[in-house]
């Protein structure tokens, strides 16, 4: 409407807009609801039953809690479990950060291959990968063979059936979980900010610490959170690679429940584990100076001012700190300008050199990490062609019989198909629900965000055997026991956690002003999401989907309890094989699981190259 | 030693899974007549093969009842879930000796109907195998085993006291882990000088002191049969405690492993019927069939587990019989694990729980 508008009209328009914004904020909050509904059925209801069991139902007896807390064995093991998870997390961070850095800075055409190196080991069943380490690390294995052969040591070093072995196995499994969130966040960091720091005289270390590190923090947070929480629940790796004292709490709970039928105690122990873990997470975040426990951001729609708490604002502050802009230095600068400008040039030249050296060091370090990630794959593939019935390395002879075995022996093909079927439905379900929930958590305004987040990630902490028992009852009640749908529900609760953690990490780094810009130009929320937000957070969502699928594909304990009669998923087939005769058919299966997606991806990449568009932000996926 | 199956496509578990899963999955309500089926958990691997050959096929031929064999494990927890929710998925289970009493005490098993057994059979089955809630299926032993070439220029160790002598009998060692409730406690007591017939009730403290002494010399404590087999096959260890069946597998593969029956630990597995099974009558019939001497003889020739029906030895050739744990000469050298003592509840805790607790304290010290 041209011409003058009255003040009343303006006030009216802006209050409509304001109401629109507020109702949109509430609307966004509602995006969390579908995910919560899923959790309510598949997780909360079973867990409520188990919590009641831990209190002996209506008697509300704390007997089992006291039994746990007062038993030095259990408290010691609880402490050791936390220590193991902490050390694993630190190692994964030290190894994963440079690897993610390299990944995000390598030219686009190499990035796809490196990402494959990270993801492909994950496609191998984690049972097989863990077993590959037994083969690699034992006294007669290739690593000791090399160490002794090269004269570095006189006798084989004990690398397996002890804490070292457990750490190697756990780090290997969890490293991609640290690398991918870091990578997803790092790709969104504008490198010009770092270069700006260099141009102001910062050396490589200062530039990194002051600028890059704070910007990558959401990735660090979610990577560490995921790795830490999942480490707490590991129990197969300590069994296969560990020594006597390397037992973790979930092992003990498992035995209480499966061998002795002590549900009350098992449930009580799990609740204690959950409460202590969440408390630890909160304490650590408070100590690191952030009230925002899960890195969700403060959710306001307004761009932060320079005094605000967003990462960009902090970076700006640091940059201005580097400039040392104040009256004294201004005066000093004028006096010594000429002298200083020469020294400045020298300083920058030195920094350039050390930055370049630093980059090469990082590249070398990261290369070692990538090699570490793929070594077991290079064991598994040759083993699949072994003529022997045992997994001895190197194989004594060659044969295709294990591949033949896979296709002819009952259970393998069907198990693989079932696992893919369940994995597919689980992934679709949780990626959609989880992304919506992540969006609602990060953008919405709710006091309960931290609580909801804690609820969503808690399935990663609680021992699956406990959830499984509760879920069995629930599935019987809703008549889904023994169905594929029941399996999907059982897998979804863990997979959802991965998706929410990963997508919130990427979203919280995402500059909200881009969305506001689009909306101010007339795009509705849906269009904005489709055209602006989604393409930019796509790496995070894809990483999340991959992990959701892998979680489902690897899930063993809950599956065991609620499976359809007479058919086993692939991890169950593999676990059975490992528990029975450990023959190379598991190596053949894993090799196919690696090679088939590799071939498919190869074909996709080759065809993609021909039809590549001009999308500036083309991701390697 | 592959797990090639005989061609059983028609009666396979898979077909049952796709066609009749819903009908089969939920047994439970009492007043239902048996269908013409029985669901039997036959274990996995070679053991499953042997069960099928010795019991499943012949039973089907004789009675015409269709057997749905399930090659899978289960545990106490699962059975409890089945029974409590009325979704029992099995008729016949193979139950570890230590679990029978626990499961019976929790009301998870049906009583065995011994009235359908002939007097001859009841006579021939070893008394310890005739439990109220289960019938002994097989005997197996945990024995001292070693690679033959480890002791070429000296006599090999025999008995556990010699096993504890690490200087006199060098080599990398293994013992059974106590984690799952199977453990090396009796072995430790014998090594400490306790005679075999005075083992029970176990002096738990003394057993663990003894285990403490051997602890630094144990390369790996194994938990499962496959671990056991693999660490010997790949020579991660030179000598140690092992299941006789697993070592028998290795011997069949021409590995030079020696089994010593002296001071071995004899254990039993039982056939049992979960409470609320879909076809309880057929289950009783199956177990009776599997307890016959002739059938057990077939079983023991397939896999070196010993029969519980001693008349089976009439059918087993001598050269096979000498490798079985209950062959009279072997049996005389061993002690039998005392399940009843383990299940005894004193002060609210079973002895088995005490053992597991002691083990937990042991591993963190």
Which residues does chain A have within 8 Å of residue B360's beta carbon, measured at their own beta carbons?
73, 77, 247, 252
Interface of A with B in 102-131 (CB under 8 A): none
Which residues does chain A have within 8 Å of residue B357's beta carbon, measured at their own beta carbons?
73
Strand pairing partners for B336?
Answer: B266
Nearest-angstrom CA–CA distance, A437 and A434 = 5
Average pLDDT over residues A369-382: 85
Q: What is the pLDDT of residue A216?
A: 86
Residue of B nearest to A244 (CA): B363
Instruction: Flag whether residue B236 sits within 8 Å of chain A, measured between CB atoms.
Output: yes
Q: Is the pLDDT of residue B145 over 60?
A: yes
Nearest-angstrom CA–CA distance, A383 and A398 = 9
Nearest-angstrom CA–CA distance, A510 and B141 = 64
Interface of B with A in 213-232 (CB under 8 A): 215, 218-221, 223-226, 229-230
How many cross-chain Cβ pairs, A to B, lie less than 8 Å apart?
A: 144
Tens digit of each residue's pLDDT (9 = 90 or more) over A31-57: 889 999 999 999 999 999 999 888 887
Please judge whether A139 and B236 are an interchain contact, meaning their C-beta atoms are less than 8 angstroms apart: yes
Instruction: Flag whether residue B24 sits within 8 Å of chain A, measured between CB atoms.
Output: yes
Average pLDDT over residues A140-150: 85
Instruction: Flag whether residue B29 sits within 8 Å of chain A, measured between CB atoms.
Output: no
Please judge whether A469 and B81 are an interchain contact, meaning their C-beta atoms are less than 8 angstroms apart: yes
Three-state secondary-structure class, residue B179: coil
**Confidence grade of residue A621 (pLDDT, cut at 50, 70, 90):** very low
Please judge whether A410 and B12 are an interchain contact, meaning their C-beta atoms are less than 8 angstroms apart: yes
Which residues does chain A have within 8 Å of residue B25's beta carbon, measured at their own beta carbons?
481-482, 565
Strand pairing partners for B134?
Answer: B131
Alpha-carbon gap: B45 to the closest alpha carbon of chain A (Å): 6
Global pTM? 0.81
Q: What is the pLDDT of residue B19?
A: 35
Nearest-angstrom CA–CA distance, B358 and A502 = 42
Alpha-carbon gap: B351 to the closest alpha carbon of chain A (Å): 12
Q: Is the pLDDT of residue A618 over 80?
A: no
Q: What is the pLDDT of residue B298?
A: 95
Q: How far is CA B103 from CA A402, B77, B201, in A?
A: 39, 10, 22
Q: Is the pLDDT of residue A220 over 60?
A: yes
The pair of structure tokens assigned to A18 is: 């304001």
Question: Chain-wide mean pLDDT for chain B?
Answer: 86
**Confidence grade of residue A491 (pLDDT, cut at 50, 70, 90):** very high
Please judge whether B73 and A576 are an interchain contact, meaning their C-beta atoms are less than 8 angstroms apart: yes
Interface of A with B in 61-90 (CB under 8 A): 72-73, 76-77, 80
What's the gap between Cα A188 and its chain centre? 17
Instruction: Flag whether residue B74 sits within 8 Å of chain A, measured between CB atoms.
Output: no
Instruction: Flag whether residue B255 sits within 8 Å of chain A, measured between CB atoms.
Output: no
Pairing of strands B130-131, B134-147: antiparallel
Please judge whether B179 and A465 are an interchain contact, meaning their C-beta atoms are less than 8 angstroms apart: no
Whether the CB-CB separation of A577 and A410 falls below 8 Å is answered with no
Helix axes A412-443, A401-408, angle to 10 degrees: 80
Computed over its alpha carbons, how large is the radius of gyration of chain B?
21
Which residues does chain B have within 8 Å of residue A258's beta carbon, measured at their own beta carbons?
75-77
Question: Residues of chain B with pLDDT > 90: what percent?
Answer: 58
Whether the CB-CB separation of B173 and B274 falls below 8 Å is answered with no
Interface of A with B in 268-287 (CB under 8 A): none
Nearest to B106 among A239, A261, A582 (CB): A261
Nearest to B76 among A139, A261, A476 (CB): A261
Among candidates A166, A240, A75, which has minimal Cα distance to B360?
A75
Q: Which of A88-102, A322-336, B269-283, B292-306 has the lowest mean pLDDT?
A: A322-336
Interface of A with B in 469-508 (CB under 8 A): 469, 472-473, 476, 481-482
Average pLDDT over residues B86-113: 91
Interface of B with A in 37-66 (CB under 8 A): 44-46
Nearest to A578 among B177, B226, B253 (CB): B226
Which residues does chain B have within 8 Å of residue A411's beta carbon, measured at their own beta carbons?
14, 71
Alpha-carbon gap: A578 to the closest alpha carbon of chain B (Å): 7
Highest mean pLDDT range out of A268-272, A307-311, B10-14?
A268-272
Among candidates A90, A181, A267, which has minimal Cα distance to A500?
A181
Q: What is the pLDDT of residue B153?
A: 87
**Confidence grade of residue B295 (pLDDT, cut at 50, 70, 90):** very high
Would you state the torsion angle of the CA atoms of residues A276, A282, A286, A287, taken in this order, to the nearest 10 degrees? 40
Tens digit of each residue's pLDDT (9 = 90 or more) over A253-306: 888 888 777 888 889 999 999 899 888 888 877 766 555 556 565 443 333 333
Q: How far is CA B17 from CA A418, A426, A437, in A?
A: 12, 22, 36
Cα atoms in the Cβ-side hemisphere of radius 13 Å centred on A453: 29
Interface of A with B in 303-362 (CB under 8 A): none
Alpha-carbon gap: B330 to the closest alpha carbon of chain A (Å): 26
Looking at residue A348, the DSSP 8-state letter turns out to be H
Which residues does chain B have within 8 Å of residue A67's beta carbon, measured at their own beta carbons?
none
Please judge whether A140 and B235 are an interchain contact, meaning their C-beta atoms are less than 8 angstroms apart: yes
Tens digit of each residue's pLDDT (9 = 90 or more) over B218-238: 988 988 887 888 889 888 899
Q: Is the pLDDT of residue B21 over 70?
A: no
Please judge whether A260 and B215 are an interchain contact, meaning their C-beta atoms are less than 8 angstroms apart: no
Whether the CB-CB separation of A441 and A296 falls below 8 Å is answered with yes
Cα atoms in the Cβ-side hemisphere of radius 13 Å centred on A466: 35
Q: Is the pLDDT of residue A601 over 80?
A: no
Q: What is the pLDDT of residue B308?
A: 93
DSSP string covering A553-564: HH--HHHHHHPP
Nearest to B221 among A80, A139, A244 (CB): A244
Q: Looking at per-residue confidence, does A335 or A86 come out higher?
A: A86
Tens digit of each residue's pLDDT (9 = 90 or more) over A555-597: 988 998 888 887 889 888 888 887 777 778 888 888 888 787 7
Average pLDDT over residues A228-249: 87
Q: Is the pLDDT of residue A354 over 80?
A: no
**Straight-line distance from the first to the last Cα atom of chain A, in angstroms, rounded to the nearest whole number:** 46
Q: Is the pLDDT of residue A482 over 50?
A: yes
Please judge whether A260 and B17 are an interchain contact, meaning their C-beta atoms are less than 8 angstroms apart: no
**Confidence grade of residue A332 (pLDDT, cut at 50, 70, 90):** low
Q: Is the pLDDT of residue A324 over 80?
A: no
Q: What is the pLDDT of residue A541?
A: 87
Tens digit of each residue's pLDDT (9 = 90 or more) over A10-25: 666 555 555 555 556 6
Average pLDDT over residues A307-322: 58
Nearest-angstrom CA–CA distance, B138 and B271 = 9
Please judge whether A578 and B352 are an interchain contact, meaning their C-beta atoms are less than 8 angstroms apart: no
């Amino acid at each position: 409407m041209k011409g003058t508008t009255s003040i009343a009209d303006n006030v009216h328009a802006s209050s409509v807009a304001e109401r629109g914004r507020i109702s949109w904020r509430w609307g966004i909050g509602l995006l969390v609801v579908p995910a919560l509904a899923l959790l309510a059925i598949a997780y909360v209801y079973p867990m409520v039953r188990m919590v009641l069991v831990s209190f002996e139902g209506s008697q509300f007896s704390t007997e089992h809690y006291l039994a746990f807390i007062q038993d030095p064995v259990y408290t010691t093991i609880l402490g050791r479990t936390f220590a193991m998870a902490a050390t694993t997390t630190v190692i994964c961070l030290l190894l994963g950060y440079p690897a993610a850095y390299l990944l995000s800075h390598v030219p686009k055409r190499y990035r796809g291959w490196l990402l494959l190196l990270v993801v492909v080991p994950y496609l191998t069943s984690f049972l097989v990968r863990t077993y590959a380490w037994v083969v690699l690390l034992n006294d007669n294995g290739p690593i000791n063979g090399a160490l002794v052969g090269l004269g570095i040591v006189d006798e084989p070093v004990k690398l397996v059936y002890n804490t070292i072995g457990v750490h190697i196995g756990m780090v290997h499994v969890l490293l991609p979980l640290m690398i991918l969130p870091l990578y997803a966040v790092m790709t969104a960091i504008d490198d010009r900010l770092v270069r700006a720091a260099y141009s102001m005289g910062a050396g490589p270390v200062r530039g990194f610490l002051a600028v890059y590190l704070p910007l990558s923090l959401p990735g660090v947070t979610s990577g560490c959170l995921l790795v830490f929480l999942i480490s707490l629940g590991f129990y197969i790796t300590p069994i296969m690679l560990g020594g006597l004292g390397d037992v973790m709490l979930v092992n003990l709970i498992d035995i209480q429940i499966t061998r002795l039928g002590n549900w009350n105690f098992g449930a009580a122990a799990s609740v204690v584990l959950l409460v202590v873990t969440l408390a630890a997470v909160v304490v650590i975040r408070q100590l690191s100076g952030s009230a925002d426990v899960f890195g969700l951001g403060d959710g306001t729609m307004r761009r932060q001012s320079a005094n605000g708490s967003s990462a960009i604002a902090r970076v700006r502050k640091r940059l201005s700190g580097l400039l040392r802009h104040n009256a004294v230095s201004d005066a000093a600068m004028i006096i010594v300008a000429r002298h200083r400008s020469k020294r400045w040039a020298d300083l920058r030249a030195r920094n350039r050199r050390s930055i370049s050296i630093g980059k090469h060091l990082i590249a070398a370090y990261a290369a070692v990490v990538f090699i570490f990630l793929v070594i077991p794959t290079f064991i598994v593939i040759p083993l699949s062609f072994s003529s022997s019935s045992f997994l001895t390395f190197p194989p004594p002879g060659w044969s295709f019989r294990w591949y033949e075995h896979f296709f002819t022996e009952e259970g393998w093909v069907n198990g693989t198909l079932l696992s893919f079927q369940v994995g597919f439905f689980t992934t679709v379900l949780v990626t959609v629900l989880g992304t919506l929930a992540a969006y609602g958590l990060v953008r919405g305004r709710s006091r309960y965000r931290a609580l909801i987040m804690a609820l969503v990630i808690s399935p990663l902490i609680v021992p699956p055997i406990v959830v499984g028992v509760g879920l069995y009852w629930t599935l019987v009640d809703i008549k889904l026991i023994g169905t594929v749908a029941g399996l999907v529900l059982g897998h979804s609760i863990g997979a959802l956690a991965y998706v929410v953690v990963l997508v919130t990490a990427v979203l919280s780094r995402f500059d909200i002003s881009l969305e506001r810009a689009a909306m101010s130009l007339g795009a509705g929320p849906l269009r904005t999401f489709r055209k602006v937000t989604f393409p930019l957070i796509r790496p995070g969502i894809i990483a999340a989907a991959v992990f959701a699928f892998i979680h489902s594909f690897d899930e063993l304990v809950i599956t065991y309890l609620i499976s359809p009669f007479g058919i086993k998923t692939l991890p169950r087939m593999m676990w059975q094989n490992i528990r029975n005769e450990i023959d190379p058919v598991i190596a053949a299966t894993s090799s196919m699981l690696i090679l088939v997606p590799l071939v498919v991806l190869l074909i996709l990449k080759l065809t993609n190259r021909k039809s590549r568009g001009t999308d500036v932000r083309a991701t390697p996926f | 030693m592959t797990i090639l199956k005989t061609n059983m496509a028609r009666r396979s578990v898979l077909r049952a899974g796709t066609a009749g899963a819903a009908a089969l999955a939920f047994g439970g309500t009492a007043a239902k007549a048996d269908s013409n089926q029985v669901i039997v958990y036959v274990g996995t691997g070679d053991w499953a093969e042997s069960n099928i050959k010795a019991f499943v096929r012949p039973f089907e031929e004789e009675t015409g009842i269709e057997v749905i064999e399930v090659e899978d494990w289960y545990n106490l927890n699962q059975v409890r879930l089945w029974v409590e929710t009325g979704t029992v998925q099995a008729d016949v289970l193979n139950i570890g000796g230590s679990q029978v009493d626990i499961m019976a005490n929790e009301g998870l098993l049906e009583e065995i109907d011994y009235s359908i057994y002939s007097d001859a059979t009841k006579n021939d089955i070893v008394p310890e195998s005739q439990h109220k809630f289960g019938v002994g299926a097989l005997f197996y032993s945990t024995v001292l085993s070693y690679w033959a070439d480890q002791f070429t220029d000296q006599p090999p160790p025999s008995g556990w006291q010699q096993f504890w002598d690490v200087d006199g009998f060098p080599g990398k060692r293994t013992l059974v882990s106590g984690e799952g409730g199977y453990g090396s406690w009796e072995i430790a007591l014998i090594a400490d000088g306790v005679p075999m017939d005075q083992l029970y009730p176990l002096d738990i403290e003394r057993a663990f002191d003894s285990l403490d002494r051997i602890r630094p010399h144990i390369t790996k404590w194994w938990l499962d049969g496959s671990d056991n087999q693999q660490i010997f096959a790949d020579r991660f260890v030179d000598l140690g405690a092992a299941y006789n069946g697993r070592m028998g597998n290795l011997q069949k593969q021409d590995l030079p492993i020696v089994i010593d029956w002296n001071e071995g630990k004899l254990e039993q597995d039982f056939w049992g019927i979960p409470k609320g099974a879909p076809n309880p009558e057929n289950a009783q019939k199956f177990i009776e069939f599997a307890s016959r001497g002739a059938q057990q003889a077939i079983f023991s020739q397939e896999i070196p587990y010993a029969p519980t029906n001693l008349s089976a030895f009439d059918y087993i050739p001598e050269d096979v019989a000498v490798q079985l744990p209950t062959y009279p000469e072997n049996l005389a050298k061993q002690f039998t694990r005392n399940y009843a003592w383990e299940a005894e509840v004193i002060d609210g805790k079973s002895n088995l729980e005490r053992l597991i607790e002691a083990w937990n304290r042991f591993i963190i010290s």
